[in-house]
């Protein structure tokens, strides 16, 4: 035989079900309100091309000769 909640327990179960339904309804409403983000791949534009050109035109000098001088100093320690 099934046992059913009595008195105060019925109120607790009813309140829990109502609160759960409200939370579920709010969640569904919130999900519908959030705009869907389109998944697009970024396309290179003129600004990106200009930035890449500036990066490629940076003169860093001869790094090997600089590291050779550091290596010689470290070997002298």
- Give the separation between CA 65 and CA 43, rounded to whole angstroms: 39
Outline where 1-77 has alpha helix (H). Answer: 8-33, 46-56, 63-75
pLDDT digits (tens, 9 = 90+) for 54-66: 998 888 777 788 8
pLDDT digits (tens, 9 = 90+) for 17-69: 999 999 999 999 988 887 766 666 666 688 888 888 899 888 877 778 888 88
- Give the separation between CA 11 and CA 8, rounded to whole angstroms: 5
- CB within 8 Å of 12: residues ≥ 6 apart: 5
């Amino acid at each position: 035989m099934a046992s059913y909640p009595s008195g105060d327990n019925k109120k607790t179960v009813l309140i829990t079900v109502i609160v759960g339904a409200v939370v579920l309804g709010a969640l569904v409403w919130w999900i519908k309100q959030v705009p869907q983000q389109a998944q697009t791949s970024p396309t290179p534009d003129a600004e990106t091309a200009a930035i890449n050109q500036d990066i490629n035109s940076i003169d860093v000098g001869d790094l090997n000769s600089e590291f050779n001088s550091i290596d010689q100093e470290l070997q002298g320690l």
